Amino acid sequence: MTQTPQKSTLSHWWRHATIIVMIFGFATLSMLTVLTYSNAPPIPQKVVAENGEVLFTKQNIEAGQDVFLKYALMEHGSLWGHGAYLGPDYTADYLHREALIVQDVIAKNKFGNSYNNITAEQKAFVAQELQTELKTNRYDAASGQLTFFPGEITAYQELLAYWKDFFTKPNSAPGLPADYIKNPEELRDLTAYFAWATWATVTNRPNKNYTYTNNWPYEPLVGNHPSSEAYIWSALSLVTLLGGLGLVLLFFGKFHFLGWEGEKDDFKLLPSPPRSWTLTPSQWGTGKYFLIVALLFLLQTLVGGGLAHYRVEPYGFYGLHFILNLFPYNLLRTFHLQLVIFWIATAWVAGGLFLAPWVGGQEPKGQRLGVNVLFVGLLVVVLGSLGGEFLGINDKLGPLWFWLGSQGSEYLDLGRFWQLLLAAALIFWLFLMFRALRPAIAKEGKSDLSALFLYAAAAIPLFYVPALFYGPHSNFAVIDNWRFWIIHLWVEGFFELFATVLVAIMFRYMGIVSARSATRLVYLDAILFLIGGIVGTGHHWYFTGQGVLNMGLASCFSALEVVPLTLLTLDASGFIKLRKRNKLADGTDMASKQKWAIYFFIAVGVWNFVGAGIFGFLINTPIVSYFEMGTTLTANHGHAAMFGVFGMLALGVLVFCMRSMQSDAAWAKTEKFVKLGYWGLNIGLALMVVLDLFPAGVLQLWDVLTNGYWHARSFSFIMTGTFHTVEWIRIVGDLVFLLGGVFPIVLAGVLSFLKRDLRPARA
């Protein structure tokens, strides 16, 4: 019997299904984004007393937002739950203090005595009156005028003095030096901004029984409790999760070829595993990228250690007070978040440049020059933006702070000029990728892995564009909307998809998966990740000025994000099996030479399930997010997912590429540091989570439920008791991570760069 030759191409329905998922997802997400502009809390033209006296204007509110962003206060505390965790949530803190002041005003007006000196029956009356007054919406959309009742006015006037003292007196704002904000006008505008943002959290939307922030934060004094929608959609999201998980497991059980191993016949399509690889000049030129990756990784983790110490000693640094003045908490946190994006993105960009000539089959003329020019451009962006942030946060740039300094939005801190420069660099990178991949695309067809490589690369500059869609005077709800288009879709979505393509190509060129299996896996990952991930972006917007439609859609689709993360545990075991495939006659194989890169990819599967799957879903349902948003449980998810997934992926790419530039003899000296670093990073991260981040988050969540959100974020809570103790205990995990993980990996990166010996003939 003659055997029918197997086709190496996939059904076009893989591509069609991916396109359909993206069209549906982006149509829905775009609708929610458009609604943000109409659902956002209105910024009044002026805020007045009942007698018409103007308290502050729209210009004051916008100027206050300028102050909030210019001084990077979102990297110190938070607003509507989003931001940093050392300082207070400014809206929750203002709201609680306002409630205490207003109830005293009501008590004196009604009963002629302070709240503490009236009877229990009178206190019950005051409590009801307090909620009625604060919940009543006195905004007139026709005139753009917001009227404050007398209690609100008294609170605003008293809190002007409070926030002035907070930002000027020594040992007041944790992690910030005395006189951090000196300008009295800026302090008045900032208080006006806090007053408006707090009004949005406590005042009901017109004709609704919930506030502009869906009753966030939890503050029983003013009647802020979870809305009924938060309970309903949380329950329905669990139904969606179980249904989606059952359906996908059914398909994976029925169609075994959906994993990395593919169909049985796919084994026949495997290319012969190479004994070694011949490098091109441009590939050799990427070595300096990986050196910079290692150095930025070191700097980012050292800055992270400084941040951790501020959590236990907020007004000094081992007695070295000049550090507090030179590098306050908000500046270090800005650096910490920018550096992690820079080194991870640089690793993936360099990985794409390294693999593209192999996929394309040839080295385009002038490619090495392009790689070198891009390297200089990226260095300018990194160094320029960090320097600009230092100057801007310290108020040294005047009106240019937004363009050259820090924009002040968490994760999108770099100034707008540096953003534009970064976007231009990414477009140039895409051009380099295209010219390297073009021969393979023309030869193999648009549905092949090489074309997917280019499409995934094109998504990187394309989906960075929303970072440019807002300005310093945009409504904060609008800013936060576009911000998460970048954080969730760009970083967590399309960069992860690009990384999946990188891994697939690495495995293909190690000779352990066929092109068809690799292509199928890329499509499958795209479908599974994007079907929940695009609309699921909205789980960040539950309480930032969106309506309940976003809560319903985002909670259900966000629950589906757990499904592909569950399957990653199967990927981890699949990676181990792949190492044993397709050996040469002498028993050698390229996969064994790249075993540490594969081990990093195994770690990605584990941490993706734990950090993004378990810890992510734990805080993604509306009812849990309502209470925990901005607590250490958020940081727990962030560390386990951000470094455990994206960091490990980037280091896997680094190890793969640097190993490819070294002979067996040279690598033998480097490998021992990679091995030590691999285990040090994983054990250290696990200790951080187990000893501090998760238990501290649970303690903080418990305090939210017991004493209100403002208290769990207060200085008195985070610097005392068991919570403060576990913050100190974290030093064990930090030291293992830094000394046993980061230092060996960085040393391996530097050693690999210096000891590269598989130089191409024309390099």
**Predicted pLDDT of residue 637:** 96
Which value, in Å, is the radius of gyration of the alpha carbons in the chain?
Answer: 27
Sign of the Cα pseudo-torsion (21, 22, 26, 29, in order): positive
564 close to 500: Cβ distance less than 8 angstroms: no
Specify the DSSP class assigned to residue 146: E
H or E element: which one contains 31? helix 12-39
Q: Apex CA 740: angle with CA 736 and CA 743, to 5°?
A: 120
C-alpha 196/C-alpha 68 separation (Å) is 13
C-alpha 208/C-alpha 195 separation (Å) is 21
134 close to 222: Cβ distance less than 8 angstroms: yes
Neighbours of 97 (CB within 10 A): 17
- Which domains, ranges and CATH numbers included, belong to the chain? 40-225 (no CATH), 279-462 (1.20.210.10), 569-763 (1.20.210.10)
DSSP letters of 114-141? -GGGS-HHHHHHHHHHHHHHHHS--EET
**Predicted pLDDT of residue 500:** 84
Specify the DSSP class assigned to residue 217: S
**Predicted pLDDT of residue 30:** 96
**Predicted pLDDT of residue 523:** 87
DSSP β-bridge partners for residue 224:
219
Helices marked H in 44-89: 58-70
H or E element: which one contains 41? none
Sign of the Cα pseudo-torsion (640, 642, 645, 650, in order): negative
635 close to 697: Cβ distance less than 8 angstroms: yes
CA neighbor of 523 nearest in space, from 6, 8, 1, 19: 19
552: Cβ–Cβ under 8 A, 6 or more apart, which residues? Answer: 229, 233, 236
- pTM, rounded to two decimals: 0.93
CA neighbor of 308 nearest in space, from 653, 732, 594: 732
Q: What are φ and ψ of residue 132, in 5° steps? A: -60, -45
**Predicted pLDDT of residue 589:** 57
Q: For the range 699-708, what are the long-range contacts, defined as Cβ-Cβ under 8 Å and sequence gap of 24 or more?
A: 699/723, 699/726, 700/628, 700/631, 700/632, 700/633, 701/627, 701/628, 701/631, 701/633, 704/218, 704/627, 704/628, 704/631, 705/218, 705/627, 708/96, 708/217, 708/218, 708/219, 708/220, 708/221
558: Cβ–Cβ under 8 A, 6 or more apart, which residues? Answer: 237, 532, 535, 536, 538, 539, 620
**Predicted pLDDT of residue 271:** 58
**Predicted pLDDT of residue 275:** 54
Task: Please state whether beta strands 139-140 and 145-147 pair in parallel, antiparallel, or not at all (unpaired).
Answer: antiparallel
**Would you call 54 helix, strand, or coil by DSSP?**
strand
730: Cβ–Cβ under 8 A, 6 or more apart, which residues? Answer: 308, 688, 691, 692, 693
| AA letter at 93 | D
Intervals of the chain under pLDDT 50? 1-7, 584-585, 763
pLDDT, one tens digit per residue, over 528-574 is 889 999 999 999 999 999 889 999 999 999 998 887 766 655 555 55
**CA 504 and chain centroid, separation:** 24
C-alpha 644/C-alpha 655 separation (Å) is 16
Q: Apex CA 98: angle with CA 95 and CA 102, to 5°?
A: 140
C-alpha 559/C-alpha 147 separation (Å) is 41
44: Cβ–Cβ under 8 A, 6 or more apart, which residues? Answer: 58, 61, 139, 144, 145, 146, 196
664 close to 705: Cβ distance less than 8 angstroms: no
Q: Apex CA 115: angle with CA 109 and CA 119, to 5°?
A: 100
**Predicted pLDDT of residue 1:** 35
